[in-house]
Structure 1
Amino acid sequence: MNISFSHLKLFYVFALLSIAISSSQTPAGYDLWLEYSEIREPTILSEYQKVTNSIFFSGGNSILLNAEKELVKGLDAMLGQASDIQDSPNLSNTMWVVKKDGLNQELQSALKGYFEQIGKEGFIIKSVSVDGKNILLISANADTGILYGVFKFLQLMKMQKSLDEINLIEAPKIDLRMLNHWDNLDRTIERGYAGFSLWNWQKLPKYIDQRYKDYARANASIGINATVLTNVNANALVLTSAYLEKVAALADVFRPYGIKVYLTARFSAPIEIGGLNTADPLDKDVIKWWNNKVTEVYKYIPDFGGFLVKANSEGQPGPQNYGRTHVDGANMLATALKPFDGLVIWRAFVYSETDATDRAKQAFTEFVPYDGNFLDNVLVQVKNGPIDFQPREPFHPMFGAMPNTPLVMEFQITQEYLGFSSHLVFLPKLYEEVLDAETYRKGKNSTVAKVIDGSLFNKKISGMAGVANIGTDMNWTGHPFAQANWYGYGRLAWDPYLSSETIAEEWLRLTYSNNSEFVKPVKRIMIASREAVVNYMTPMGLHHLMDTGHHYGPGPWVGDLSRPEWNPTYYHNADKNGIGFDRTPTGSNATSQYAPEIAKIFNDPETCPEEYLLWFHHLPWDYELKNGRILWDALALKYQKGVDQVEEMISTWKQVKTYISDDQYNEVRMLLEIQLQEAKWWRNASLLYFQTFSGRELPDGVGRPEENLEYYKSLKFPYAPGN
């Protein structure tokens, strides 16, 4: 029998994981931000011991059971004593965890007006008075609100917040808070950098891995309420009965944590698994097939969420194959799902190999004219920028341009274009930049966040999706700090107005330490890290300079691929006259897709923000910037600054060594050394290549490349992960 190296590696990973998780000591990082340790600060400890001395928990179904188990787990670990949980209220109870319908009249009166604010998923954590006696109350309208409230209370407790500071009336601002897994049925993950897929389809439905429960628990702790199990480059087999029973088993695990399951639907499924000779969305047999298939899905999974669809993009089949529109395709599926309250989430990531126009314009051109034509259970999912998850892009012009269609924000949590899981990159800083961007679609203060949460155009449903960075690695995400991107995405999906600084501090306190001598400097690392990556990869608005296919490392010289918009040379347009992509009226006129106030700023290089300068303009190498430097010197110094920032990160990490364990310190130290090496690689390769056009020397202060350009061009990585 022949066993490949990849199969041996897979077996070895799973064997190690099974041993580690079955032992009493979980591997470092496995518990994510949910590891509960005893509170050492005496005042805080005493405060929480008093208020949790006797707890009334009104239980019931599986969601409430998980909430109660979590409360006991957290309290016992942090307080160092067994919790006294009672299932009936009395005057000795110092803490109550109960839904609104379990409160007495006095308590309902004390909380009058609050329950209307929190909807089905929100919660109240508040000290109230009952017969002259103060109790701490966690309450909600529904079971999931109690679950979220318990997690929030334990997080505040773990961060050692004084009870005097806890008075929360909180509800999610976005309805659909979803992870998109780009997981394939063979357990590989497209753009996955943390091992293999969690979903063991071969052993499902009978074997339920503990990881499925731990995954659901982690998501519930940050309010994620939906998961798409399969890759957007879909496989129709997942809609067969053999796989639907496996999906149903996962749905049964996730349901007690308030999480609904979604699947990706391959548009050609009626042909591939249905025996039809067409997938035309207006064909009566195709319509009947999808109606029957949806009915079958709901027999397996009664609370199935719906379908995520990638169609007519990068070779995926879709309605345009039959001369139909995105509306025709989406509405056909939406009609089938409507009786079951299911949703269609139709991705707007489209670009055509036969369209010679600027790739950045194509999604807007294909979708905006159909605003208002989609059925009310269709949401259009739009990437944060108009190209493809680049280290920095301007916000997608579709945001704000479709007032009659709910738009779902799609962020990438996995670091496809940002150094994979080798680089420390705190992505909530990127998310925040996009969400805070002004669209001017209804005047000033019409931010992207207001488009996404539905408030700008009074949408009935809102959504945010994050392409997951989760795999079978012992710490889930490959890089310990990549956990912060999963956590931060969940926090912003709950509240898109949170600051990245707030999220970074929360995560550090929950994951590492409450010591401010650790938190302050490491938070500075996190906040600066995304800008560092932009600087050493794609400064000043450059984009899509990554090497072919795997997107690992620089490849600005690549220009021989079959489709022009796959080539880095298409995007930077470097020549002896200058560099950059002209998207003003003298070029592709992509700026016209933004509101006039934004277009005016972007069209003029004097007013265009420097971080987007080469995104919107092709400028001479000697173009003078506001600081007096010419473009070539400024570009080179940006690359160098990125390298310098990584060196600063390493220096800061060394300074906080004493506050964490040796294992925690060394793991990040080694990864930072890789990041520094690759930052220099990006700087050297990119500047040597662009220098062939500029003909100028590198300015003082920029490190000199160790190798020549041909060396960097010769590097090949046929087995780079996630390809």
Structure 2
Amino acid sequence: MINRNNLFVLCFLYVFALFAQAPPGYDLWLTYSKIVEPDISKKYSDISTSIAFLGNSKTLNIAQSELHTATEKMLGQTPTFFKAFESNHSMVIGTKNLLDPSLNKVLTKDLEQIGNEGFIIKSVLSQKKTTLVITANEDIGILYGVYRLLALMQQRKNLDNIALVDSPKIDIRMLNHWDNLDRSVERGYAGFSLWKWHKLPEFIDQRYIDYARANASIGINAVSLTNVNANALILTPMYLEKVKALADVFRPYGIKVYLTARFSAPIEIGGLQTADPLNEKVKVWWADKTDEIYKLIPDFGGFLVKANSEGQPGPQNYERNHVDGANMLAEALQPHNGNVIWRAFVYSEHDADDRAKQAYSEFVPYDGKFMDNVLVQTKNGAIDFQPREPFHPMFGATPKTPLMMEFQITQEYLGFSTHLVFLPKLYEEVLDSDTYQEGDGSTVAKVIDGSLQGQKITGMAGVTNIGNDINWTGHPIAQGNWYGFGRLAWDPYLSSENIAEEWLRLTFSNDDAFVKPMKELLIMSREAVVNYMNPLGLHHIFDTGHHYGPGPWVSELSRPEWNPVYYHNADENGIGFDRTPTGSNATEQYAEPLRSQLNDPQTCPEEYLLWFHHLPWDYKLKNGKTLWNGIALKYQEGVNQVEKMVSTWETMKPYVNKAQHKEVQMLLQIQLKEAKWWRDACLLYFQTFSKKELPEGVEKPTQTLEYFKSLKFPFAPGIRPRWN
């Protein structure tokens, strides 16, 4: 019989056991689930029994610890590590300078190809014995190589005769946190900011380490900690001490810290009367501030700047230009090998031109005038992270200026963290787009990796979806967007299908009965969102400010380009934004033959039709349906696709943790409800102009247009703080 004291002890042990393991979703794609297949487990065990792990540094110790932990979890065995190489070792891990000469000689040509961050995983025949070798030129390459080996093992890949030689194709692979100093997150849908500023620098939260692990596992090597709508206080000594603490955590994982620089900081925290970039006192202030930062953080990456955009201060406040502003900061950073990342997201209410044209018009004339350590960070499309946009015409149009891609990982215009949207499909679509700037095959990927036009420094940034929710991203499936961004930043030529399969196998299950239907679901999910939100090239018809839900009727905002009616131009004659020579002529910013293709509605891809053309309601689509019927059927198709996602997920119960399955199940119900909301609200509104009945196959709305217009969401998450 159990007495009360024993019962208390048993309850305590039970609770301790529950919390000894991370909650479902916390481990992301680093679950290291036990390998139950006997033949595969034995093969991996044979490789992992005796490991020569050469060298000793913080980075190498992390790699060894990760290998130790993963091997215990996956194989149920504790690996034996040796610090010297002997011929009987089954695996050898070490940088080239530490390898046995016989191994080094075999790998010399490969080592010449991988740079400072690349790695080699190769079965090498040496002294009549096959040895698995992980090597690199630098310690960080070893860490990346170990993570890749463990990912291959998690996916049950055959390691016999493996010969993997890999290195990143893009230099700066960065997460942009839009985190505020009060821990709110602009466009954040996964809780509060990770950074507990009030506890730093003394208290180092375990999540900082786990965050660094996750990023290193997919090759992310840079992070900007704070919102691009910047607060100058981050540059004060009190906060820089806190930033240093984070930089110290991230450094062994190969991650450099960047800070967002508020252009007016010399006034706000420096006591100057001006922030004019050509003023000598301002130049000295920034140079001194930069020196101060590098004394604390020797590997500080540099500044990310949003200037003269959406009310933010910048050089134009002083009748200067973007080159003046960026180069002033670049001069301060240059002695320290730091970079300026200057965002191209600019548009002005004082410019009557099409918003889609303004960034190109402002920045392309400055090509070749920026210093070598300046990158211009450009959103993937010319408007603002829409569910679908044609690629930004700046890509390829500035051959003397490195353009850094800016993707959205958080889902500002894509249903926040309640809608399931696999964004690597969007990234792939943009990266594979042909700019024709240097002839056929001049893809966006070749522009941003520098291979098309020879830029010396390259970068890709993702506005992150990470918060302090247990599962990091608010929606369990949204973790795949973080993972997919990292993989494409490493190699922008990967396919979204392969990334989806990798992530599913690493995160949930290796069972093909799970992976195949779930991969189809992920790849379909982005198109579903486009269909039930913005089909056939419609864009920016979201409700105002928070961008939650439909608001195609919004017309009363002070700036015309903030109003959805500006973008869809619906009237009794038709719908769409004319960007051809008869309209804003935004198509002139694209190279031929793409320009001519876009100018003609018959050759313009239909997914961009209403982006570039204002067409009558009875315009015939390629399938023979009228434009009105085509729009209505696309909205319905989006709803149908979400219904299919719901039914597919229901069948996944045997392969997924019970709590996670229930969580996604509930979120999919929200998504289905909101997909119908989008369909009904938009069609009822556009119907007031088309005056046409809904076609057969489209469900009739159950509410009135007036009802949908009455919905208000003043406390939707992620809204921009008023003090910025």
**TM-score, structure 2 length as denominator?**
0.97
- Write the distance in 1 (CA, Å) between the matches of 2:577 and 2:226: 35
- Write the distance in 2 (CA, Å) between the matches of 1:711 and 1:20: 50
1:718 corresponding residue in structure 2: 714
The 5 Å alignment of 1:347-496 reads: 347-496=343-492
1:699 corresponding residue in structure 2: 695
Q: How far is the alpha carbon of 1:273 from its aligned partner?
A: 0.4
Q: How far is the alpha carbon of 1:21 from its aligned partner?
A: 12
1:599 and 2:595 correspond: yes
The code of the aligned residue for 1:615 comes to W
Match of 1:290 among 283, 286, 293: 286
- Write the distance in 2 (CA, Å) between the matches of 1:508 and 1:471: 21
Point out the more displaced range, 642-651 or 163-172: 163-172
Indicate the SS of the match to 1:289. helix
The 5 Å alignment of 1:494-513 reads: 494-513=490-509
The code of the aligned residue for 1:34 comes to L
1:618 corresponding residue in structure 2: 614
Residues 356 and 383 of structure 2 are in contact (CA less than 8 Å); yes or no, is this contact kept in structure 1?
Answer: yes
- Write the distance in 1 (CA, Å) between the matches of 2:132 and 2:48: 8
- Write the distance in 2 (CA, Å) between the matches of 1:597 and 1:72: 55
1:306 and 2:294 correspond: no
Match of 2:648 among 652, 655, 676: 652
- Write the distance in 2 (CA, Å) between the matches of 1:179 and 1:22: 32
Q: How far is the alpha carbon of 1:380 from its aligned partner?
A: 0.3
- Write the distance in 2 (CA, Å) between the matches of 1:75 and 1:96: 15
Q: How far is the alpha carbon of 1:653 from its aligned partner?
A: 1.0
Change (3 A) 1:21 1:484: farther
1:575 and 2:571 correspond: yes
1:13 corresponding residue in structure 2: none
1:216 and 2:212 correspond: yes
Match of 2:277 among 264, 273, 281: 281
- Write the distance in 2 (CA, Å) between the matches of 1:612 and 1:712: 27
The 5 Å alignment of 1:242-253 reads: 242-253=238-249
The code of the aligned residue for 1:707 comes to Q
Indicate the SS of the match to 2:541. coil
Q: How far is the alpha carbon of 1:20 from its aligned partner?
A: 9.8
The code of the aligned residue for 1:37 comes to S
- Write the distance in 2 (CA, Å) between the matches of 1:112 and 1:146: 16
Q: How far is the alpha carbon of 1:628 from its aligned partner?
A: 1.0
1:79 corresponding residue in structure 2: 75
Residues 417 and 552 of structure 1 are in contact (CA less than 8 Å); yes or no, is this contact kept in structure 2?
Answer: yes
Deviations 1:373-394 (A, max 9, x none): 0000000000000000000000
Q: How far is the alpha carbon of 1:46 from its aligned partner?
A: 0.8
Indicate the SS of the match to 1:153. helix
The code of the aligned residue for 2:329 comes to L
Deviations 1:83-113 (A, max 9, x none): 1111111122110011000112211111131
Q: How far is the alpha carbon of 1:22 from its aligned partner?
A: 10
Point out the more displaced range, 480-489 or 69-78: 69-78
1:4 corresponding residue in structure 2: none
Deviations 1:385-416 (A, max 9, x none): 00000000000000000000000000000000
Indicate the SS of the match to 1:147. helix
Indicate the SS of the match to 1:308. strand
Point out the more displaced range, 23-32 or 358-367: 23-32
- Write the distance in 1 (CA, Å) between the matches of 2:580 and 2:207: 50
1:631 corresponding residue in structure 2: 627
The code of the aligned residue for 1:41 comes to E
Q: How far is the alpha carbon of 1:658 from its aligned partner?
A: 1.7
1:198 and 2:197 correspond: no
Deviations 1:117-163 (A, max 9, x none): 11000000000022111110000000100000000000000111111
Residues 38 and 80 of structure 1 are in contact (CA less than 8 Å); yes or no, is this contact kept in structure 2?
Answer: yes
- Write the distance in 2 (CA, Å) between the matches of 1:68 and 1:707: 60
2:124 corresponding residue in structure 1: 128
Pairwise CA RMSD: 1.0
2:30 corresponding residue in structure 1: 34
- Write the distance in 1 (CA, Å) between the matches of 2:589 and 2:381: 13
Stretches of structure 1 that go unaligned for 5 or more consecutive residues are 1-18
- Write the distance in 1 (CA, Å) between the matches of 2:640 and 2:665: 16
- Write the distance in 2 (CA, Å) between the matches of 1:661 and 1:405: 48
- Write the distance in 1 (CA, Å) between the matches of 2:565 and 2:469: 35
Match of 2:525 among 515, 522, 529: 529
Residues 341 and 374 of structure 2 are in contact (CA less than 8 Å); yes or no, is this contact kept in structure 1?
Answer: yes
Deviations 1:276-325 (A, max 9, x none): 11100000110111111101111111110000000000000000000001
The code of the aligned residue for 1:473 comes to D
- Write the distance in 1 (CA, Å) between the matches of 2:692 and 2:586: 31
- Write the distance in 1 (CA, Å) between the matches of 2:16 and 2:26: 10
Residues 381 and 390 of structure 2 are in contact (CA less than 8 Å); yes or no, is this contact kept in structure 1?
Answer: yes
Q: How far is the alpha carbon of 1:471 from its aligned partner?
A: 0.1
Of all paired residues, the percent bearing the same amino acid is 70
- Write the distance in 1 (CA, Å) between the matches of 2:112 and 2:384: 40
Residues 179 and 465 of structure 1 are in contact (CA less than 8 Å); yes or no, is this contact kept in structure 2?
Answer: yes
Indicate the SS of the match to 1:126. strand
Deviations 1:394-445 (A, max 9, x none): 0000000000000000000000000000000000000000000000001001
Residues 20 and 26 of structure 1 are in contact (CA less than 8 Å); yes or no, is this contact kept in structure 2?
Answer: no
1:145 corresponding residue in structure 2: 141
The code of the aligned residue for 2:363 comes to F
Residues 21 and 27 of structure 1 are in contact (CA less than 8 Å); yes or no, is this contact kept in structure 2?
Answer: no
1:15 corresponding residue in structure 2: none
1:174 corresponding residue in structure 2: 170
Indicate the SS of the match to 2:376. strand
Residues 123 and 161 of structure 2 are in contact (CA less than 8 Å); yes or no, is this contact kept in structure 1?
Answer: no
Point out the more displaced range, 646-655 or 138-147: 646-655
- Write the distance in 1 (CA, Å) between the matches of 2:648 and 2:18: 36
The code of the aligned residue for 2:104 comes to Q
Q: How far is the alpha carbon of 1:61 from its aligned partner?
A: 1.1
The 5 Å alignment of 1:151-170 reads: 151-164=147-160, 166-170=162-166
- Write the distance in 2 (CA, Å) between the matches of 1:21 and 1:562: 57
Indicate the SS of the match to 1:361. helix
Q: How far is the alpha carbon of 1:654 from its aligned partner?
A: 1.3
Indicate the SS of the match to 2:45. helix
The code of the aligned residue for 2:557 comes to L
Q: How far is the alpha carbon of 1:661 from its aligned partner?
A: 2.5
- Write the distance in 2 (CA, Å) between the matches of 1:360 and 1:676: 31
The code of the aligned residue for 1:481 comes to I
Which of structure 1's runs of 4+ aligned residues deviate more than 3 A? Answer: 19-22
Residues 59 and 68 of structure 1 are in contact (CA less than 8 Å); yes or no, is this contact kept in structure 2?
Answer: no
- Write the distance in 1 (CA, Å) between the matches of 2:47 and 2:560: 64
- Write the distance in 2 (CA, Å) between the matches of 1:372 and 1:614: 34
Residues 172 and 221 of structure 2 are in contact (CA less than 8 Å); yes or no, is this contact kept in structure 1?
Answer: yes
- Write the distance in 2 (CA, Å) between the matches of 1:511 and 1:611: 32
1:329 corresponding residue in structure 2: 325
Q: How far is the alpha carbon of 1:23 from its aligned partner?
A: 2.7
- Write the distance in 2 (CA, Å) between the matches of 1:219 and 1:341: 23
- Write the distance in 2 (CA, Å) between the matches of 1:22 and 1:274: 51
Q: How far is the alpha carbon of 1:194 from its aligned partner?
A: 0.1
- Write the distance in 2 (CA, Å) between the matches of 1:281 and 1:60: 45
2:266 corresponding residue in structure 1: 270
The code of the aligned residue for 1:112 comes to T
The code of the aligned residue for 2:71 comes to L
How many residue pairs were aligned? 705
- Write the distance in 1 (CA, Å) between the matches of 2:301 and 2:407: 20
Point out the more displaced range, 102-111 or 380-389: 102-111
